[in-house]
């Protein structure tokens, strides 16, 4: 499998319902909860791509473009964007849609950087 095919095969999509226990006093999804979900989806995409032990080393610019109300459905989409020697960047988008209406909107976008590590927690080359 070539690099483009591996990137396509590792795309990760997760759907969730936004329940009240994950919202703040404005009845919108907590920003920290959104970031945790994004990191998890990014981790899945990075691991699926590399099949190695991957750890998050940074989150880069997370833009909250639209609030995510309770009672909506969200889709998190993780895509490997760049692969280096020992690290990779994964982009994650959160789309929000009303349960009983058509259409969806991009609500949050961010990037995460992961590093492949060995059993001694030292960075290692990403196998391509």
pTM here is: 0.95
Residues 31-41, mean pLDDT to the nearest whole number: 97
Residues 74-82, mean pLDDT to the nearest whole number: 98
Q: Where are the domains of the chain?
A: 3-116
Residues 22-28, mean pLDDT to the nearest whole number: 96
* Measured distance CA(54)–CA(34) in Å, rounded: 20
> Confidence band (pLDDT; 50, 70, 90) for 127?
confident
> Confidence band (pLDDT; 50, 70, 90) for 106?
very high
Q: Is the pLDDT of residue 27 over 70?
A: yes
Distance from CA of residue 21 to its chain's centroid? 21
Supply the CATH classification number for the domain 3-116.
Answer: 3.10.129.10
CA–CA distances in Å: residue 102 to residues 73, 105, 124? 12, 11, 45
Arithmetic mean of pLDDT over the chain: 96
Angle at 42 between CA 37 and CA 46, to 5 degrees: 150
């Amino acid at each position: 499998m070539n690099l483009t095919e591996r990137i396509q095969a590792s795309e990760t999509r997760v759907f969730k319902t936004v329940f009240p226990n994950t919202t703040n006093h404005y009845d919108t999804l907590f920003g920290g909860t959104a970031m945790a979900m994004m990191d998890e989806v990014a981790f899945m995409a990075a691991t699926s791509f590399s099949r190695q032990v991957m750890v998050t080393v940074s989150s880069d610019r997370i833009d909250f473009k639209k609030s995510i109300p309770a009672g909506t459905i969200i889709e998190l989409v993780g895509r490997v964007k760049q692969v280096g020697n020992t690290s990779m960047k994964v982009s994650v988008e959160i789309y929000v849609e009303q349960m009983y209406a058509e259409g969806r909107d991009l609500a949050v976008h961010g990037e995460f950087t992961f590093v492949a590590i060995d059993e001694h927690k030292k960075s290692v080359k990403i196998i391509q």
